[in-house]
Structure 1
Amino acid sequence: MVIEMGNGRKNNEIEIDLVEVLHILLERIWLILGMGLFLALVCFIFSKFVLTPTYESTTKIYILNKTGETSVTYSDVQMGTQLTKDYAELINSRYVLEEVIQKLGLETEYRNLRKQVRVATPADTRIVSITVEDIEPARAMQTANCICEVASSHIQNVMDIEAVNVVEPANTPTVKASPSVTKWTLLGGIAGVLIICISIFMQYAMDDTIKSSEDVEKYLGLSTLALIPIVSDGDKAKVKGRPKKVKRK
């Protein structure tokens, strides 16, 4: 694999041996696994003990349009599905959410509460689900039910709807919605492995030193005639410390 790097008139080529890169990664497999486990542990502790858990409570309503017929046709369902987008905007409107804040005495603002509310419409239905996310399970349930009550009245007045029926009231959540400790731990481990692998790869790609006679022949195209061993300071000291032999006459 050859990577060309152009810079003006100078063109530099970096030749990368994928087999050699794989060999280097395998040699440092314990370092890679250690980094992955370390970041996974950090993310586990952070998501488990640092991040504030949030809970979600959902209520569902069914919106019935005014019609003279008792039966509901497929076109009615399609029309109702299209109108659910309008219902979602009305549910998230300032009028509804500010009235909810006032009724429950919430210490928050309209913008903040809107971020906590999620409105969804299942396909081919006229059912609208209202989900509220909060750090307090009981408050999430109370807010969802209050939004359902206020929004039902507001939708009937604005859209001239026959009735808005509660399909499923909100309940107190017992399981936290976020953060997911498993997801955080898994992502942390993957991030740790990727970071150390990229670091090792960059170190290999930028290293242009000659390490062996094979590198001389490979990169310079020259034949090696002889090898000169490198003598360390310790070896020099050993050589100097050896007693000289005295020739006997």
Structure 2
Amino acid sequence: MNEEYQELDLVELLRGVVSNWWLILLFMIIAAGSSYYATKTYVVPIYKAESTLFIGKENNVLSGISLGDFQLDSKLVIDYRELIKTRLVTEEVISDLELKSTRNEVISNLRINIITESRFMNVTYQDPIPERATQIVNRFSQVLVEKAETIVGVNNIQIVDYAITPTTPISPNPIMNAMIAAMVGAMVAMGIILLKMAMNNTIKDESSVEKEFGIPVLGVIPKFKGEGRTS
């Protein structure tokens, strides 16, 4: 047997894939449907609530803002980002809202984002229950404002936007998961098709004989319609 025949040529592979398009489509539909159903049924959705704070001059100061004030406030933004994650703030939030989560669990779902080259700060919290996410992030913002004057010694932070209850989860994305599953299903189906073709050693036509044995075909005996066995 010629070693060259062991390798399937590209045209033959493409023909095999195209002729079995229905199998690929079937695997894609099954994979996508299963993924979508599993995501919607078994994966817990996560919601994100967000509040916005501004760090500026103290409330009782009415003069204009100097460059020094801006630089000081920019540094305080970093201080406030660390202050909101301290035990002093987090434990008060947990106690006020009677949360059953530990401090580490609460911190892991809390995010503080400082907007570049500004004195605005976004506080976000992720939770399976949208109402709870809203309560927690708003309480964190309130406690931060209360503790800022006590700890830092200035009263220059205020809540610009309180968080509102989110209605759309940030994860999971069932449509995206279904699309990924469909692509995986297509690859699995093509793998099965190619494996089946590679394991098929039957002689299909005269060109296969030439590849298999390396000899030319001198003639082909045709099969006539209606031809049957004779006793």
The TM-score bracket by the shorter chain reads 0.7 to 0.9
| Structure 2 residue aligned with 1:42 | 34
Fraction of identical pairs, as percent = 26
Cα 1:123–1:225, aligned 2, differ >3 Å: closer, same or farther? Answer: same
Cα offset, 1:142, TM superposition: 0.7
Cα 1:70–1:37, aligned 2, differ >3 Å: closer, same or farther? Answer: same
Deviations 1:89-114 (A, max 9, x none): 33233332222111111011112212
Q: 5+ residue gaps in structure 1?
A: 1-11, 230-237, 244-249
**Paired residue type of 1:120:** N
Q: Distance in 2 between matches of 1:195 and 1:184?
A: 16
Q: 5+ residue gaps in structure 2?
A: 223-227
**Paired residue type of 1:64:** G
| Structure 2 residue aligned with 1:4 | none
Equivalent of residue 217 in structure 1, options 210, 213, 216: 210
Cα 1:150–1:27, aligned 2, differ >3 Å: closer, same or farther? Answer: same
Cα 1:55–1:218, aligned 2, differ >3 Å: closer, same or farther? Answer: same
Deviations 1:97-143 (A, max 9, x none): 22211111101111221222222222222211111111222211110
Equivalent of residue 172 in structure 2, options 169, 172, 179: 179
Cα 1:181–1:77, aligned 2, differ >3 Å: closer, same or farther? Answer: farther
> Do structure 1's residue 170 and structure 2's residue 160 form an aligned pair?
no
Aligned length: 221
Contact 2:148–2:155, Cα closer than 8 Å, also in 1: no
> Do structure 1's residue 53 and structure 2's residue 45 form an aligned pair?
yes
Deviations 1:3-49 (A, max 9, x none): xxxxxxxxx99745333222211111111111111111111211222
> Do structure 1's residue 31 and structure 2's residue 23 form an aligned pair?
yes
Q: Distance in 1 between matches of 2:169 and 2:151?
A: 35
Cα offset, 1:192, TM superposition: 1.6
Cα 1:23–1:116, aligned 2, differ >3 Å: closer, same or farther? Answer: same
Equivalent of residue 71 in structure 1, options 40, 44, 65: 65
> Do structure 1's residue 120 and structure 2's residue 117 form an aligned pair?
no
Q: TM-score, normalised by structure 2?
A: 0.77
Contact 1:78–1:124, Cα closer than 8 Å, also in 2: no
Q: TM-score, normalised by structure 1?
A: 0.72
Cα 1:115–1:202, aligned 2, differ >3 Å: closer, same or farther? Answer: farther
- RMSD over aligned Cα atoms: 3.5
